[in-house]
Amino acid sequence: MTLLAVAVAFVAYNLLPLISQGGGENPAGSVAAREKLDPKEPAFNADSAYQFVAAQCDFGPRAMNTAGHEACARWIVSKFEQYGCSVERQQADLTGYDGTTLKSTNIIARVNPSASPRILLCAHWDSRPWADNDPDEANWKRPILAANDAASGVAVMLEIARLLQQDSTFAQGIDFVCFDAEDWGTPQWSELPDDPATWALGAQHYADHLPDGVFSYGILLDMVGGQGAKFYREGFSRSYAGELVARIWGAARRAGYGSYFPKKDSGMVTDDHVPLCKRGIPVVDIIPYYPDCQASSFGPTWHTLADDLEHIDRNTLKAVGQTVIQVIYE
């Protein structure tokens, strides 16, 4: 996961229109009517999603250019194929902050490949090579297991793919994209300044090679399984995709999980959605914010060795997964 960006200046971009129920209008003319409890099926299975998190962690750290990374890639591809998706591997040699050549693979899994326009659901799948925010300095150059900061987002997408395969009536086109090379950004112990361009390398490559007009909107899932997580409205998401932010946070309330999505704002986060937003695709980052956590505003396990299965909460996975289903089915 990337560092919290401090925005000095920001240029707002025009937003593409969203495809939404009732043309985006509220028939009752009130926020209360839009947010009335009205959960949609199918029911997201948090136990299943948790097992998908555990299966990724079984490969150990999945940092770039490691055996665990390659083995996990094959597993992710096999699971999406098992759930009826058409899968593409977008491979590229990318350059890390320190000049390291990173053997990157973005995994693109499509539901109803011929349908257009499409919805983009995405998360990064690589793990941080260094626990550079660990409270013990001796751990700063050790790789993390990344149960939350990588595996959780992929797990939610896999569970949604599994559920969609069971719905023979579902006709919407969806691309599940697992971004690689997100977490090779400049470590805190480096003498080099933190450069935002060193983060989200796989998403940058994907955006650079993406044809126009493919997606109506997108949702990025980052660290969506942590204990005590609350998902505030992230800054770049508000600026590039404000209408979609309102739609998702309202959907959370209609699904019954509004307590996980408070009507509060957080700062701007350099993450995988930014290069996509700059291409004109409204993409919202569902990412936690811990305003009172001294270790990190991303939570106490962020970029530490404590980012493990013990700190994954099925309730958080459920809240996020059901909210995304609510958005899709509305």
pLDDT for the residue 3: 44
Please write the tens of the pLDDT for every residue from 108-118. 999 999 999 99
Strand, helix or coil for residue 247:
helix
Of 21-25, 131-135, 166-170, 268-272, the one with minimum mean pLDDT is: 21-25
Residue 36 vs residue 139, higher pLDDT = 139
DSSP string, 106-118: EEEEEESTT-SSE
- Is-contact 324 176, C-beta < 8 A? no
Dihedral angle computed from the Cα positions of residues 167, 258, 119 and 166, in that order, rounded to the nearest 10 degrees: -10
- Is-contact 150 184, C-beta < 8 A? no
The whole-chain average pLDDT of the chain stands at 91
Token pair listed for 55: 């299966």
pLDDT for the residue 287: 98
- Asked whether the predicted pLDDT for residue 148 surpasses 90, the reply is yes
- Asked whether the predicted pLDDT for residue 199 surpasses 60, the reply is yes
pLDDT for the residue 32: 61
Dihedral angle computed from the Cα positions of residues 316, 319, 322 and 327, in that order, rounded to the nearest 10 degrees: -120
Could you give the count of Cα atoms lying within 13 Å of 29 in the half-sphere of its Cβ? 0
**Beta pairing class for 118-124 and 101-111:** unpaired
Indicate the angle between helix axes 46-57 and 67-82, nearest 10 degrees: 150
Q: Strands, E, within the chain: which ranges? A: 4-5, 86-95, 101-111, 118-124, 173-179, 215-221, 268-269, 283-286
Token pair listed for 262: 């408070």
Dihedral angle computed from the Cα positions of residues 111, 67, 60 and 56, in that order, rounded to the nearest 10 degrees: 10
- pTM for the model stands at 0.91
Please write the tens of the pLDDT for every residue from 19-60. 333 333 344 455 566 678 999 999 999 999 999 999 999 999
Which residues have a Cβ under 8 Å from the Cβ of 73 and sit 6 or more positions away? Answer: 89, 105, 107, 125
Amino acid at 290: Y
Please give the share of the chain, as a percent, with pLDDT higher than 90. 88
Among the residues of 146-200, which ranges form H helices?
153-165
